[in-house]
Amino acid sequence: MFNISKETLERLRKEYPSGCRVELTKMNDPYRTDLVPGCRGTVKFVDDAGSIHVRWDIGSSLAVVYGEDACKKLDSVTVICYGESKVWDSRADAIKFYLEGMTACEGAERNRYTNVYLDLIEGLDICRDKSED
């Protein structure tokens, strides 16, 4: 097992809070052939050894072991539009989608897309169409 300093553990917990989205970049487990680089999931917690426990989208709940495996945090964002919530793993993809929607629509629909787009540009973690505000 790896010794981990309190500072490193605090940094990991701050960088990978519960609920954030990650992408696997390295898994050093020959028995888990289903978890390959590119798999994505949601962080549950970081334990006292620095392992990042993840609920993987493929259904697994295997931890990313500190010092052995690796993952990167995604620039994810939650968008609430038309009363439905969607998590985008890429803010840039969400910005592109809502910008295209703004230019292709008019009236109330354009207003919804514009509100979401402005929230995305502002860097908010949860972006809304403001239709029910």
pTM of this prediction? 0.78
Q: What is the pLDDT of residues 25-74, one digit of tens each?
A: 999 888 888 999 999 999 999 999 999 999 999 999 999 999 999 999 99
pLDDT category at 3 given cuts 50, 70, 90 is confident
pLDDT at res. 84: 93
Share of the chain above pLDDT 90, in %: 85
3-state secondary structure 40-94: EEEEEEECCCCCEEEEECCCCCCEECCCCCEEEECCCEEEEECCEEEEECCHHHH
> CATH 2.30.30.40 residue ranges in the chain?
6-73
CATH class of 6-73: mainly beta
